[in-house]
Structure 1
Amino acid sequence: MPDDLDPIDDATPDPGSGLPPEMLDALKRMTGSADLPPEMVEQFAAMGLGSIPVGQFEGLMTQVQSMFAGPDEGPVSSTVATDVARKVVAAAGDPSMGAREADLAREAVHVADLWLGQVTELEAPGLRGVAWSRSEWIEDTMPVWHEMVAPVAQGVSRALASALTAQLSGDGFEAISGMLPRGTNPAAAMGQIAPMMERVGSSMFSMQLGQGLGALAGDILTGTEVSLPLTSDDVVALVPANIAAFAEGLEIEADEVWLYLAVRETARMRLFRAVPWLEAQLLVAVQDYARDIAIDTDAIESALTGMDPTDTEALQAQLADKLFSPTPTGSQQAALVRLETWLALIEGWVDVVTDQAAAAHLPRAAALGETVRRRRATGGPAEKTFASLVGLQLRPRRLRDAANLFAALEAAGGVAMRDGAWAHPDLAPSGADLDDVLGYVERRQTASGGDDVDAALEALLREETL
């Protein structure tokens, strides 16, 4: 039989390559089925690649490829974050919402909207109540989270990439030199590895985002409890599974708890919809803070010493609480004060109008309000989430200061003066105003009185000309 007709034994290495055909196929799959240069094949064979079991080699390649699979979404991947967050809530239990929960949410928000209409001039027609599972909250709010954390994700990803690359450069290059062809230029190799490490950094931050949001989804009671406009337009979202856990031990009827929380959430949504400039101010404040955040590169490099850069879960655990510098920069501190002020003003106003709207209808409204305040003061979901995602620590005392300010405005000039503080960002209280509530109220009274005097003078002059 002619040699060219001899049957081919796939298990026999190609005598011209020194590698088994299965190994050649695996390598070709990594290059999009392109033929490998003969010199590279010989170098791989000289490295002893042919002696590695093909299954083990393919398993390693699958792990590496999965790390870089999918589109490059930049410094933070919503796909990765959502997947991780959903797995977190699924592991803890995430019951689906049915018709009963949907009816309860719709009715509670309808009633809350009617009650709020009696105590505030801020309106938001068309609000609708929905009952969400924890996963639904994650899915709906992820776009806003992505937008907010992108600046800090970029800084963290670059810092992680730099630290990971440093672990593989210099003496560390010897750890991977056996995986590369002989004669490889270390500088050229590191130039190729650096972008890969940035992708690893992005993956790690996205996993942290997912872990943080997954934990938050298991605790948050309503769509915007963190005082940020996270949900879709006109949606007042309640999370029944978390509300049930919150209500345990309160000795308060479940329906009353639902109604009270519906009033709080509807009040926030009225504020966000009736004050269109507020959302932009909040997002800019978060992004400014995140953009100027200082990354603790020394702590990161120390944490990564001796770690396997392909083991993202171990890296993430090692880096917990080590990403951010404990000392904020001057610009970061200024952004922090501005952000804290906006969040305090939102919750302070919500506290005041919720207490008024609920007090006339819910016997235990005062007790529920105090429970919510204690939950917030001991480190509520907003504080925990910001701390894990952008290193932000909120000061709960600012929220009580803001509530006192709005109550003082109402005492001095009624609902119109209280809600009028949201008429324009230049009129809204500042951090300094929270430190001097009476001074701010006096200035608002003077401005309002000045308008009245001018109007009266104009009417008088008009009468004299007749």
Structure 2
Amino acid sequence: MTDDDRDPSDFEEMLRRMMSGGQIDPEQLRDALSGMQGQSFDPAQLQGFMAQMQGMFSADPWQSAERQALHIANQDGQSIAAGAQASLADAFGLANLWLSEATTISELSTPPQAMTRGEWVAATLPVWKEIASPVSTSIADALMDALRTQVPDEMQGMVQGAGQLMRGLGGSLFAGQFGQVLGRLSLEVVSGGDVGIPVLPAGTAALIPQNISAFGEGLEIPDDQIALYLAVRELAYARLYRHAKWLHLHVLSQITDFARGVTVDIDALEDLASRLDPTDPEELRAAIEGGALLPAQTDAQREALTRLENLIATIDGWVDVVTSQAIARLPDGARLGEAARRRRAVGGPAEDALGALVGLKLRPRRLREASAMWQTVTDAVGVAARDSLWDYPDLMPSSSDIDDPSALVERLQASERGEAPAADEFDEALARLLDGDDFGQAPGGASEDRPEDDAPGEDSAPEDDAPGDDRPEGDRPV
């Protein structure tokens, strides 16, 4: 077909198909747009189509994501049996008693709860939205950039005007895929702290009884023991985030800092569009979910990811040690602890999909090293001194403490003896500032930036202006 044979109504038909839920072939989009060059069409009618499409995609795409996630989460029911509710209440009650013997961090102010999978989706969606929104924006912008490269120069003005539409389309595409991944994740998680980041409000503890049995598959451990172990672990997470009120924001800010640096590979997107089969959208879904559109991480992102992994490992390590101490009476507690560590290290299929979707893996690679550090600290200074490290952000162990906790233990032991900690470079600089000393002062008291000729000394004042000589000028010795 030549350009002269194309009918501008082809473009209108394509828009109708999109609005009616039909599949759009990217080649058809290019043909329809290029076919409009030099053709007469009704701008008012086209503008009307654009307005309708903008209305379709101007709504919050995350509402659609929530509906998709809830559809998957609620397939097996939306209620918890009364017997399961009572069993979890008993597990949480005993877990609270055991945990209070293992940590000085106080109990929660609100009672822990049993959640359905759907309730977990609804309660955690605000945090997931905050994490994923930067990636959604990148994909929407990339779709707009890809469209600009596919249309002739004469159509660039219309493409620019359709920017909001394309961004809405990209955001809806990503949010829809994210909703499916989140729904599948709800079938795997067993608690609020199961994914390693605070997805529930600070101070909230919850278990998902529908998924507890799957946690113990192959272990041959009674469900009541599994529920008790998970209750202790979840309460430890929730107590920590309630006590260290700064920690919730600290973790999420590091995650969003990483996510803001995520961009979309335009070349990969255009390559995918050029060979996409409109009758089989699975390739597009697989590309988005598998992370094929996300480029390799930058150095800055790798550094941010390392900091985040160390932070999550530090939190998980503390929870691991406190939980192990609290469940010492549980017959199969050691096996359950090892199963939980393996689960955090390996993850599940939905967690893999989530990591690929936003370019972020939330598995603490240094969990065992962090647990060993917290155990060393506990053995050296006891529970109270250990837990005091969560009182302020600057007291929290660093990555170097995970490597070698000896310096941290020495600081804590010196504090117990009432000794002032050894001053570091920052402390010394702060002390000089408080004492009124100049920062530019060199060792020994001489100013580094004062010219040598102006430095005070024996010969600094002219002889005829020697201080202390009040005689008239004529009476002074020559």
Normalising TM by the smaller chain, what interval?
0.7 to 0.9
Give deviations 1:259-305, integer Å, cap 9, x for gaps: 10010001100001011010010011001111122432322222222
The answer for the alignment partner of 1:12 in structure 2 is none
Write the mapping of 1:124-273 to structure 2, written as runs, cut at 5 A.
Answer: 124-166=107-149, 168-170=150-152, 185-273=154-242
Note if 1:62 corresponds to 2:31.
no
Matches within 5 A, 1:397-412: 397-412=365-380
Q: Give the AA of the match of 1:295.
A: V
Deviation digits for residues 344-388 of structure 1, max 9, x if unmatched? 11110110011111112x111011111111212223579626513
Distance 1:385 1:451 in 2: 51
Per the alignment, in what secondary structure is the counterpart of residue 252 of structure 1?
coil
Q: Paired residue for 1:351, among 320, 324, 328?
A: 320
Structure 1 residue 258 displacement after superposition: 0.5
Alpha-carbon distance change, 58 to 273 in structure 1, aligned in 2, over 3 angstroms: same
Q: Secondary structure at the match of 2:140?
A: helix
Assess if the C-alpha contact under 8 Å between 2:196 and 2:363 holds in 1.
Answer: no
For residue 400 of structure 1, what is the amino acid of its counterpart? R
**CA–CA distance in structure 1, aligned partners of residues 123 and 249 of structure 2:** 19
How far 1:399 moved relative to its partner?
A: 0.9
Structure 2 gaps, min length 5: 1-6, 23-51, 423-478
| Counterparts of 2:9 and 2:102, CA distance in 1 | 78
Report the Cα distance in structure 2 between the residues aligned to 1:382 and 1:436, rounded to whole angstroms: 35
Match of 2:195, SS state, is coil
Contact 1:236–1:269 under 8 Å retained in 2: yes
Name 1:323's counterpart in structure 2.
293
After superposition, the Cα gap between the structure-2 partners of 1:48 and 1:344, relative to the gap in structure 1 and judged at 3 Å, is: closer
Structure 1 residue aligned with 2:466: none
Q: 1:191 to 1:312 in 2, by over 3 A?
A: farther
- Give the unaligned 5+ runs of structure 1: 1-45, 174-184, 455-466
- 1:87 and 2:71 aligned: yes
AA paired with 1:169? V
2:390 is aligned with 1:390:
no
Q: Structure 1 residues 380 and 47, CA, compared in 2 at 3 Å: closer, same or farther?
A: closer
Distance 2:287 2:133 in 1: 22
User: What is the deviation of 1:306?
Assistant: 4.2
Q: Residues 273, 238 of structure 1: CA spacing in aligned structure 2 closer, same or farther, 3 A cutoff? A: same
When residues 440 and 309 of structure 1 are mapped into structure 2, their CA distance, relative to the original with a 3 A threshold, is farther
Note if 1:110 corresponds to 2:93: yes
Structure 2 residue 36 is the aligned partner of structure 1 residue 78: no
May I ask how many residue pairs the two structures share in their alignment? 387
SS at match of 1:115: helix
Counterpart residue type for residue 153 of structure 1: S
3-state SS of paired residue (2:56): coil
C-alpha contact (below 8 Å) 1:109/1:236 kept by paired residues:
no
Q: CA deviation at 1:394?
A: 4.6
Give the RMSD, CA atoms, in angstroms.
3.1
**Residue 453 and residue 429 in structure 1: after superposition, are their counterparts in 2 closer, same or farther (change >3 A)?**
closer
- The 3-state SS of whatever aligns with 1:359 is coil
The residue identity in structure 2 corresponding to 1:434 is I
2 CA distance for matches of 1:381 and 1:228? 18
**CA distance in 1 between partners of 2:314 and 2:354 (Å):** 17
Is this contact kept in 2: 1:307–1:315, CA < 8 A? Answer: yes
* Cα distance in 1, alignment partners of residues 78 and 343 from structure 2: 24
> For 1:357-396, what aligned pairs fall within 5 Å after superposition?
357-360=326-329, 362-380=330-348, 384=352, 386-394=354-362, 396=364
Describe the shift of the 1:224–1:164 C-alpha distance in structure 2 as closer, same or farther (beyond 3 A): farther
What letter is aligned with 2:393?
P
SS in 2 for 1:249: coil
Change (3 A) 1:204 1:165: farther
Q: Deviation digits for residues 177-225 of structure 1, max 9, x if unmatched?
A: xxxxxxxx41222223333221111112212321221121110011221
Note if contact 1:348-1:400 (Cα within 8 Å) is conserved in structure 2. yes
Checking the alignment, whether the CA contact within 8 Å between 2:136 and 2:174 is kept in structure 1 is: yes
Give the distance between the partners of 1:206 and 1:346, measured in 2 at CA: 30
Superposition pairs of residues 332-347 of structure 1, within 5 angstroms: 332-347=301-316
Match for 2:103 among 120, 124, 133?
A: 120
Could you tell me whether the CA contact under 8 Å between 1:263 and 1:354 is conserved in 2? yes
Distance in 2 (alpha carbons) for counterparts of 1:110 and 1:128: 10
Distance 1:444 1:152, change over 3 A: farther
Deviations 1:49-78 (A, max 9, x none): 7x98xxx986653338689536543xxx32
Find the structure with the greater CA-based Rg: 2
Tell me which amino acid in the other structure corresponds to 2:322.
Answer: V
Output the CA distance in 1 between the equivalents of 2:279 and 2:161.
16
SS at the partner of 2:160?
helix
Amino acid at match of 1:138: V
Distance 1:131 1:423, change over 3 A: same
**Amino acid in structure 2 at the alignment position of 1:149:** A
In 2: Cα distance, 1:48 partner to 1:144 partner: 44
Distance 1:199 1:159 in 2: 12
- Distance in 1, matches of 2:250 and 2:313, equals 13
What is the CA deviation profile of residues 5-26 of structure 1, one whole-angstrom value per residue up to 9, with x for unaligned ones? xxxxxxxxxxxxxxxxxxxxxx
Whole-Å separation in 1 of the counterparts to 2:226 and 2:363: 26
